Amino acid sequence: MSELPRSQGSHLALTCIGRVLLFVLCFGTKQTAYATDTASTQIKVDQVGYIPASEKIAVITAPAAHFEVRRASDNVTVFQGELGPAAQDADTGDSVQLADFSKLGEPGTYYLSVPGVGRSWTFSIRRDVFSRTYYLAMRAFYGQRCGTAVDLGPEFPEYKHAACHLKGGFHISSGKQGERDNAGGWHDAGDYGRYVVNSGIATGTLLWTWEMFGPKLRGIQLNLPETGNGTPDILNEARWNLEWMLKMQDDDGGAWHKQTSERFPAFVMPEDDHSTSVVVGTGKEPYKSTCATADLAAVAAIAARVYRPYDAEFAARNLKAARKAWLWIEKYPNVTFKNPPGISTGEYGDEYCDDERLWAAAELWRTTGDTKYNEYFVKQYPDFRASLETMTPEDWKDLATMGLWSYAMGARKGSDPELLADIRKRTTQTAQAIVDRTKKNPYHVSLQAKDYVWGSNGVAASYGTELLVANALSPDPAYVATALDNLHYLLGRNTFSLCWVTQVGANPYHHPHHRPSAAGKTPEPWPGMLSGGPNAARQDNVLRNLPRALPPAKIYADDQDSYASNEIAINWQAALVLLLAGTLPVN
């Protein structure tokens, strides 16, 4: 999370003035360096591609009647069709026609040709078409590792940094003094802070990804330092952050809220940020915060069951931490966090921690079967069931749905049958409403006008994860198809014809708000990272300077200075990983 202006200018921003028009020009200029042919941004495809048996739709935003799909290797037309009727899309201001080539199932690499408009970027049709994107999206977490040297290896030479932020200490607000060995964890976003609350949803989502799709992921090697140790690599990567989260737990069971420097560092490589990384607390008794402690309890409870087959000692350590954290939040049910004097990094403030507690109770019940957690969950349920109907997916501060879904996905002897049925019913009703709405949306994306907020791409990914959870509770191919629609949006079927994952697709974005990408020697940003996406609230100067009349889905800039629309972050990265994992074939 970054909210403050920084000292260094963006290499793109210097050449792009007047934004929207030049925006397109900048992309056009850049793309010639990557593609041997010129594609029209008025033809929007998923630049990664489509699964053979799935629906395949492209979006065209220039008037045309007819389209062809051509094989990239020899330009032979393999499919042709008529475009659908034009529909006006209020969120983008675009007039949209659809090209439906769902019947084309032959694996290969293709592009669309639309007479009078041009050709699209190339894309593939393949059973495992999203495997590479999954690999890169997971490796992006490795790239965010703090407290150790990172090197992406020969595949991405020069994408590396030396060990960083090894020196840790207590900030006065933590209630303690002196040095503290708190190295580890992931850099949260474009900055180098580490925050327990955002770690909670990100790490929890990755562990859920394993629980939901383990058979698809078991054999996927991520080329980590731990690869080959007998533990699946997604769990190896999640453990890096878990170990740090456990270090953030005090002896009394509470967890400090975050560990950052006092203010955001300059745009330097992580090892060149010499500020001390301090453990930050609430500034008064009991110094730890309830939301952070409940998040730790939830994630450690998941870890206790997930790691058991691979490392029983680590699993037991997590269970002990989760139980201890639960006792702490019973004692301190609503200690909230605000930045104490002298600290100006991301706050991740949250006035309400009962939803985090619900999630912790559900995960502890699922792992242990101890009735006290079930009793708490059942008692609290009436306060939270409506959150399954608001059609707003989870984010770092609203975790009730994580608790409700985990209770249902982890149903065990003693789980309340009426609650289980109610959670299933409400979740599937909401999923069906998302499916219906997405079909009507001209871009076939689940986002509504109100969803173009900070991290809207994470909202799109989270609609996908919500649909996959609904599918886990009550299988329905329409849920999976609509989850894929949201992935297609992120990978290029959007108004910018832009792939929002770095170094993926023929026309990816280039300038994330991400310090290692800006400060390093590499021509392209670090690979596999999801941009925050369009944000109608315009909380940075780049967005504020865009034309006032832009519709919400167009308020985005591929500009390093636009932290409110182009920052990367572990929470929406994790939602992307879960969504991608759901699309993979079982090996």
* Catalytic (active site) residue 191: yes
CB of 165 to Zn ion, least distance (A): 3
* Dist. CA 1–CA 190, nearest whole Å: 7
Nearest of 529, 539, 508 to residue 27 by alpha carbon: 508
CB of 24 to Zn ion, least distance (A): 36
> For residues 533 and 455, is the Cβ–Cβ distance under 8 A?
yes
* Catalytic (active site) residue 252: no
> For residues 460 and 533, is the Cβ–Cβ distance under 8 A?
yes
Active-site annotation holder among 91, 191, 355, 356? 191
Which C-beta is closer to Zn ion: that of 165 or that of 366?
A: 165
CB of 204 to Zn ion, least distance (A): 22
Which C-beta is closer to Zn ion: that of 277 or that of 495?
A: 277
Which C-beta is closer to Zn ion: that of 146 or that of 445?
A: 146
Alpha-carbon separation of residue 268 from 153, 470, 502, 563 (angstroms): 21, 42, 20, 16
Identify the three-state secondary structure at position 572: helix
Peptide bond before residue 63 is cis, with ω within 30 degrees of 0: no
Tokens at 334, concatenated: 């609503």
Which C-beta is closer to Zn ion: that of 164 or that of 353?
A: 164
Q: What is the dihedral of CA 522, 562, 337, 244, to 10 degrees?
A: -10
Could you write out the DSSP letters of every residue in 495-556? TT--B-BTT-SSSB----B-HHHHHSS-SSPPTTPBP----TT--SHHHHTS-TT--GGG--
Active-site annotation holder among 513, 514, 540, 561? 513
CB of 152 to Zn ion, least distance (A): 16
Task: Give me the long-range contacts of 436-442 (CB less than 8 A, separation at least 24).
Answer: 438/482, 438/485, 438/486, 439/482, 441/89, 441/91, 442/59, 442/87, 442/88, 442/89, 442/94, 442/96, 442/98
Instruction: List, in sequence order, the alpha helices (H) in 410-490.
Output: 417-440, 456-473, 477-490
- Bridge partners of 395, per DSSP, are 398
Which C-beta is closer to Zn ion: that of 225 or that of 410?
A: 225
- Please report, as ranges, the residues that interact with Zn ion according to CB under 5 A: 146, 164-165, 270
* Dist. CA 502–CA 291, nearest whole Å: 32
Which C-beta is closer to Zn ion: that of 200 or that of 270?
A: 270
CB of 516 to Zn ion, least distance (A): 10
Number of residue whose CB is nearest Zn ion: 146
* Catalytic (active site) residue 559: no
Which C-beta is closer to Zn ion: that of 257 or that of 323?
A: 257
Active-site annotation holder among 68, 356, 466, 558? 558
DSSP 8-class letter at 320: H
Q: Alpha-carbon torsion 405, 310, 357, 138, what sign?
A: negative
Which C-beta is closer to Zn ion: that of 146 or that of 569?
A: 146
Tokens at 388, concatenated: 């399954």
Which C-beta is closer to Zn ion: that of 164 or that of 321?
A: 164
* Dist. CA 455–CA 574, nearest whole Å: 13
CB of 321 to Zn ion, least distance (A): 23
* Catalytic (active site) residue 513: yes
Neighbours of 561 (CB within 10 A): 21
CB of 192 to Zn ion, least distance (A): 5
CB of 363 to Zn ion, least distance (A): 28
CB of 267 to Zn ion, least distance (A): 14
**Sheet strand arrangement including 57-60:** 43-44, 57-60, 95-100, 87-88
Measured distance between the N- and C-terminal CA atoms of the chain, rounded to whole angstroms: 36
Active site residues: 191, 513, 558, 567
